[in-house]
Structure 1
Amino acid sequence: MTLRFIGIDPNTGTGESPTVWVDDTKNELVIQGWTAGPELTAVCAAFEVPGHAVGIPEHEAVVRIPARMVSILRKACDDAERAELR
């Protein structure tokens, strides 16, 4: 696995470090964020989307990252998309 660091929350402090990487091997984004907590996780689990089962599978998680990281996520998305087109 080859992870390429894209960025970290610019307001990072001790114990607060939402981070974004691109896995160049699998062409995926890897996101570290805050745990969503039981209330937000329950809301997400109950959300109905056509063609998608209700609930959160055991192998998935809901995470939160601050909106101030949008530019970092955009860069990660652009980088991953460019890699996929190669």
Structure 2
Amino acid sequence: MSLLFIGIDPNTGDKQSPTVWVDREKHELVLQGWKPDAALEAECAAFEAPGHASGLPENEAVIRIPARMAHMVREACDVLEAADVR
């Protein structure tokens, strides 16, 4: 299995579980989070970065994770950087 579990929201309940993994095979972060409300999704879709079209491509999504999980995202990044041999 290529997924390495990093952590889950420590304040999670039975029905919510924002989670951070690392896909070791693909060298990617894998995040599970809350769906945004329509206003946030629209704001993200309207964002224009130089050299990129605005909007959300069909194969992408906006998610939200709580700030209390930032250390898990950092840990996942450290795992990826340590494993990156490219």
Place the TM-score, normalised by the shorter chain, in its bin: over 0.9
TM-score of the two chains, using structure 2 as the length reference: 0.95
Amino-acid identity (%): 64
Structure 1: which 5+ residue stretches go unaligned?
Answer: none
Q: Name the count of aligned residue pairs.
A: 86
Q: Deviations over 1:18-60 (max 9, x none)?
A: 0000000001000000001211100000011111110000000
- Structure-to-structure mapping, 1:71-82, within 5 angstroms: 71-82=71-82
2:69 aligned partner: 69
2:11 aligned partner: 11
User: Which consecutive aligned stretches of 4+ in structure 1 deviate over 6 angstroms post-superposition?
Assistant: none
1:52 aligned partner: 52
In 1, the alpha carbon distance for the partners of 2:62 and 2:51 equals 19
Question: CA RMSD for the aligned pairs?
Answer: 1.2
In 1, the alpha carbon distance for the partners of 2:14 and 2:39 equals 25
Structure 2: which 5+ residue stretches go unaligned?
Answer: none
Structure that is richer in strand per residue: 1
